Structure 1
Amino acid sequence: MVQGRSARSTCSVRASVVRDCRLRPRAGYVEPSADVVVLTALPVEFRAVSRLLRDRMTLDHPQGTSFVKGTLPGLGGSLAVARIGPGNLTSAAVAERVREWLRPQALLFVGVAGGLKPEARLGDVVVSTKVYHLHPGKETPEGFRARPVPGAVSHRLEQKAGVALCSDSWREWVPEDVRATWQEGGPRVHFQPIAAGEVVLNSSVAPLRDQIEFHYSDALAIEMESAGAARVADLSEGLRILTLRGISDHADGDKGEADASGSQHRASAHAAAASAALACELLPETAGTGGLSLTAGSTAVIGEASAPEPDWVSALMAFEDMDRGDFRHSLLADMGRVLGLPRAFMATESAMARDHVREIVRRMNAYRDPPAARRALYSALEHARPDDGALEELGRLLP
Structure 2
Amino acid sequence: MGPSADVVILTALPVEFQAVLALLHDRSTLVHPEGTRCVAGTLPGASGTIAVARIGAGNLGAAALSERVRQWLNPQALLFVGVAGGLKPSVALGDVIVPTKVHHLHPGKEAPGGFRARPAPGAVSHRLEQAAGTALCTETWHTWVPDDVRETWKGAGPRVHFEPVIAGEVVLNSSDTPLRTQIMSNYEDSLAIEMESAGVARAAALSEGLQILTLRGISDHADPDKRSDDASGSQHRASAHAAAAAAALICELLPDTDGRADSRSSRAIGPATDTDKPSSTDTEWVNALMAFGDMSKADFRQALLSDMGQVLGLPHAFMAAELPMARDHVREIVRRMNDYRDPLAAHMAVYTALEFARPDDAALERLGRLVP
Does TM, normalized by the shorter one, top 0.5? yes
Larger Rg: 1
Instruction: Report matched runs for 1:159-174 at 5 Å.
Output: 159-174=130-145
Report the equivalent of 1:129: 100
Report the equivalent of 1:273: 244
Determine whether 1:342 maps to 2:273.
Answer: no
The answer (yes or no) to whether the contact 2:100–2:123 under 8 Å persists in 1 is no
Report the equivalent of 1:300: none
The answer (yes or no) to whether the contact 2:46–2:261 under 8 Å persists in 1 is no
Report the equivalent of 1:190: 161
Report the equivalent of 1:375: none
The answer (yes or no) to whether the contact 2:41–2:51 under 8 Å persists in 1 is yes
Alpha-carbon distance in structure 2 between the residues aligned to 1:277 and 1:167: 11
Report the equivalent of 2:88: 117
Which secondary structure does the structure 2 equivalent of 1:245 belong to? strand
Shift of 1:247: 0.2
Which secondary structure does the structure 1 equivalent of 2:155 belong to? coil
Report the equivalent of 2:59: 88
The answer (yes or no) to whether the contact 1:150–1:234 under 8 Å persists in 2 is no
Shift of 1:286: 4.6
Alpha-carbon distance in structure 2 between the residues aligned to 1:281 and 1:246: 20
Alpha-carbon distance in structure 1 between the residues aligned to 2:28 and 2:238: 26
The answer (yes or no) to whether the contact 2:78–2:210 under 8 Å persists in 1 is yes
Report the equivalent of 2:258: 287
Alpha-carbon distance in structure 2 between the residues aligned to 1:265 and 1:209: 25
- The amino acid that maps onto 1:136 is P
Shift of 1:141: 1.2
The answer (yes or no) to whether the contact 1:288–1:341 under 8 Å persists in 2 is no
Report the equivalent of 2:147: 176
- Matching residue within 171, 182, 201 for 2:172: 201
The answer (yes or no) to whether the contact 2:87–2:193 under 8 Å persists in 1 is yes
Report the equivalent of 1:254: 225
The answer (yes or no) to whether the contact 2:93–2:219 under 8 Å persists in 1 is yes
Deviations 1:126-169 (A, max 9, x none): 00100000001001111111112242210110000000000000
The answer (yes or no) to whether the contact 2:261–2:268 under 8 Å persists in 1 is no
- The amino acid that maps onto 2:202 is R
Determine whether 1:31 maps to 2:2.
Answer: yes
- The amino acid that maps onto 2:224 is G
- Matching residue within 215, 220, 228 for 2:191: 220
Report the equivalent of 1:152: 123
Alpha-carbon distance in structure 2 between the residues aligned to 1:69 and 1:186: 29
Report the equivalent of 2:25: 54
- The amino acid that maps onto 1:114 is G
Judged with a 3 Å threshold, the aligned counterparts in structure 2 of structure 1 residues 72 and 216 are, in CA distance, closer, same or farther, namely same
- Matching residue within 41, 46, 64 for 1:70: 41
The answer (yes or no) to whether the contact 1:56–1:71 under 8 Å persists in 2 is yes
Instruction: Report matched runs for 1:9-20 at 5 Å.
Output: none
The answer (yes or no) to whether the contact 1:36–1:107 under 8 Å persists in 2 is yes
The answer (yes or no) to whether the contact 1:116–1:221 under 8 Å persists in 2 is yes
- The amino acid that maps onto 1:107 is L
Which secondary structure does the structure 2 equivalent of 1:284 belong to? coil
Shift of 1:96: 0.6
**Relative contact order (alpha carbons < 8 A, sep ≥ 6): 1 or 2 greater?**
2
Alpha-carbon distance in structure 2 between the residues aligned to 1:70 and 1:128: 26
**Structure 1 unaligned spans of 5+:** 1-29, 293-335, 344-399
- The amino acid that maps onto 2:35 is G
Shift of 1:193: 0.4
Judged with a 3 Å threshold, the aligned counterparts in structure 2 of structure 1 residues 289 and 78 are, in CA distance, closer, same or farther, namely closer
- The amino acid that maps onto 2:268 is L
Shift of 1:291: 10
Alpha-carbon distance in structure 1 between the residues aligned to 2:35 and 2:259: 38
Shift of 1:183: 1.2
- Matching residue within 50, 63, 67 for 1:79: 50
- The amino acid that maps onto 2:96 is V
Alpha-carbon distance in structure 1 between the residues aligned to 2:213 and 2:152: 27
Alpha-carbon distance in structure 2 between the residues aligned to 1:150 and 1:188: 25
Alpha-carbon distance in structure 2 between the residues aligned to 1:204 and 1:107: 32
Alpha-carbon distance in structure 1 between the residues aligned to 2:71 and 2:184: 37
The answer (yes or no) to whether the contact 2:16–2:82 under 8 Å persists in 1 is yes
The answer (yes or no) to whether the contact 1:88–1:224 under 8 Å persists in 2 is yes
Deviations 1:191-217 (A, max 9, x none): 000100001000001111111101110
Number of matched residues? 270
**Structure 2 unaligned spans of 5+:** 271-372
Which secondary structure does the structure 1 equivalent of 2:122 belong to? coil
Shift of 1:289: 6.1
Shift of 1:184: 2.2
Which secondary structure does the structure 1 equivalent of 2:70 belong to? helix
Structure 1 runs of 4+ aligned residues shifted over 3 Å read 286-292
Which secondary structure does the structure 2 equivalent of 1:265 belong to? helix
Alpha-carbon distance in structure 2 between the residues aligned to 1:106 and 1:203: 35
Which secondary structure does the structure 1 equivalent of 2:152 belong to? coil
Alpha-carbon distance in structure 1 between the residues aligned to 2:259 and 2:105: 47
